[in-house]
Structure formats: C-alpha cells, structure tokens
Amino acid sequence: MTYSSPLLSRHGAVEAGGLDAGTASHYGDPLREQRDLARGTAVVDLSFRGVVTVTGPDRLSWLNTLSSQQVADLQPGVSSELLLLSVQGRIDYDARIIDDGATAWLLVEAAEAPGLAEWLQRMKFMLRVEIADVTDQWAVAGATAEVPQWEQYLRWTDPWPQIGAGGFAYTAVPEDAHPGLERPWYEYVIPRAEFEGAIEASGRTLAGSMASEALRIAAWRPRLGAETDEKTIPHELDLIRTAVHLAKGCYKGQETVARVHNLGHPPRRLVFLQLDGSQHTLPAAGSPVLLGERQVGTLTSVGAHYEMGPVGLAVVKRSVDPAAQLVVNDGGELYAAAQEPIVAPDAGAVVGRASGFLKAPRR
C-alpha cells in the first residue's frame, strides 16, 4: 500500500521519492528549511517510518541474544541502536531501540517493519515475548533539538557519533572534530491520531526530507537502504561505534564482526564527498564513482548543504587512495568529487595495533 502523509496537504509541499516517499521533500524553500532545522526551530515528518514493538518479560534478554548490541540491561528511556545480521555478518536490519519499562520500541525504515516483525515472530520460540508491527498506529517526527511540547511522547536520542559501550571508532579524525557532533538528533513516537495536532503544538516550522538528509550526510551518518546493499558489513560504515558491542556474547554474524575487526579489513569504506557545484545540478544516488576511467564505488546519498553546497556519501573500495580526486558519473554528466575518509583505509586488524587514529572500545 502506498503511504501518503497528511502533511503533504500543507502549502508548498512537494512529495519525496525513494526512502522518504509519502512525505514532503520540501515545502517550497529547502535551504531555509535546512537552516531552520539546523538551528532547532523546525521539525521533520518521518511518519513513513516503521514501528515494531516487543513486549513481555523476556523482551530485552531475547533481543540481546539476537542482535549486535548489548541491550539486556537497557534502562527505560535510554536510546540505543542494534543490528540484526546474516550468518555472514551482513546487515539485514538496523533498528533504533528505546524501552519504556514495559515495551521495547524498534524504529526502522518503512520497508523494514513487516519483514522485521515476521522474522522476530519466527525467532520467539517459547519465550515470553509478543511482537507487533504498529506502524499504522504510531508516527515519527524528527528534530535537532528537544521539543518541550512533546514531553509526553517517547523520544529516541541518536547516539551518533558517540562511541557506545563496547563500540569502536573506525574514523581517522579526532573524536572532538567529528562533524556528527554538530547534528544532535531526536525522533519522537506520536500516535497517528494526534500527529497533525502535535506538529501544530510544537510551535516549529516544517522542514522536508531534503533538509534532514543534507544534515545527515554532513554528519557522516549512514542510513539503511541508502549506504547499505546486500553485502554491507557494519565495519564499512563505522557502525561499530553505535550499533555493535564487541564484548557481548554470541549472536548471528558475530564471527564475521570479530574476524574483520581483529584480524582483517573491511573490503569497502564510507567516504564523504564534496561535489563540484558549478553545474547547478546534483548527481543521482546510485551513480558510479570513478577513479580515472575505473569504477571504484557508488554514490549512496546526495544533497545540497546550506553551507557546504553539494555533498554526498559514497561507498568505495578500501584500496582507493584517500587523497585521490574522484569523479561521479551520472549518465555521462561528470561531477568532480573531493573525498574525505570516514572509515579509515587501515580500519580493522586491531590485534597487534600499537597506535593510530582508531579508538579502542569502551567497556
């Protein structure tokens, strides 16, 4: 069924496509909306998001056994992120998780919710858990600042870019210089019946997905369905920092996580691209990234940042020289792209590493 947000009826709303389909890409002035969002005076319609709940006394210990994250002792109101991996360690699901003391709420991309709920149902066995896809009952809204008028709603706080307990940073920049620090991010879970009223009560303007995506790209924050494909492992996107606990017990995919982290290197790495803005257009996500005439990666996300201009994220081969000038080829239209490594070329193989930029896990 095709989703359509009630906020698309607002003046100037232009519908988005792709992962944000069914909500507005902008409401008439995307750069102003982006500035307002960055200042904390706007909110974003994320009502396309999927919401899956897990209730029952075994919910957290059960999710702990299934996922990459340590959530067995997750306290009410504390936000985290977990991955459900394949046996090969590839990302199947990426969920934002917050527990309210009785229910674990999993916030996912729109296409994930039905499959996630079905998969969890198959894994419950005799445990005291109940799973429900409640997407039709609950909507999500995002902001870069807390919304006092929404204190009654459950709020997930993005841990990015902080290194979580058991996490590890794969970036080659000092942690106090990580651009994600400039983008705090909150997602509120609001009953759909109250959604429009809550937007009005917030006292804030609306920003579209073009605004939120540009800020996400600038914060180096990967997104499932954009930066991922059927082969993606967490190390390639620096998701070890927020979504993986390296010291927890056995779970599906752990062998790959441990082997790459301790002994190997991820075959690909996430990079930030500063694109040539002289053409006054943006290349399409999915366009090949070239080094000379050879394709070395794929543009995964792209946006127009209100300060930096055209920016993007790309996943490229680990062997690509970090100093090399790249080119994005969108159907023959070429865009020069200066890269900044997000995942360091020497990421992984921490056993025996004496020093370096990579940050050790917190216990």
The annotation places the binding site for substrate at 187
DSSP assignment letter at 313: E
Distance between CA atoms of 68 and 267, rounded to whole angstroms? Answer: 20
Residues pairing with 304 in the sheet: 310
- Pairing mode, strands 205-207 and 42-45: parallel
Closest by Cα among 22, 18, 25 to 223: 18
DSSP assignment letter at 361: P
Distance between CA atoms of 134 and 269, rounded to whole angstroms? Answer: 35
Distance between CA atoms of 299 and 304, rounded to whole angstroms? Answer: 14
**The two three-digit tokens of residue 325, written as one number:** 């000038």
Closest by Cα among 39, 40, 44 to 27: 44
**Three-class HEC string of 246-283:** CCCCCCCCHHHHHHHHHCCCCCEEEEEEEECCCCCCCC
- Please name the residue that has the structure tokens 């996430």: 270
**The two three-digit tokens of residue 61, written as one number:** 């210990």
Distance between CA atoms of 193 and 195, rounded to whole angstroms? Answer: 6
Q: With residue 150 as reference, give the H or E element that holds it.
A: none
Calculate the CA 25 to chain-centre distance. 18
Calculate the CA 220 to chain-centre distance. 9
Distance between CA atoms of 249 and 230, rounded to whole angstroms? Answer: 25
Q: Which residues are annotated as a binding site?
A: 187
DSSP assignment letter at 346: T
Distance between CA atoms of 207 and 24, rounded to whole angstroms? Answer: 8
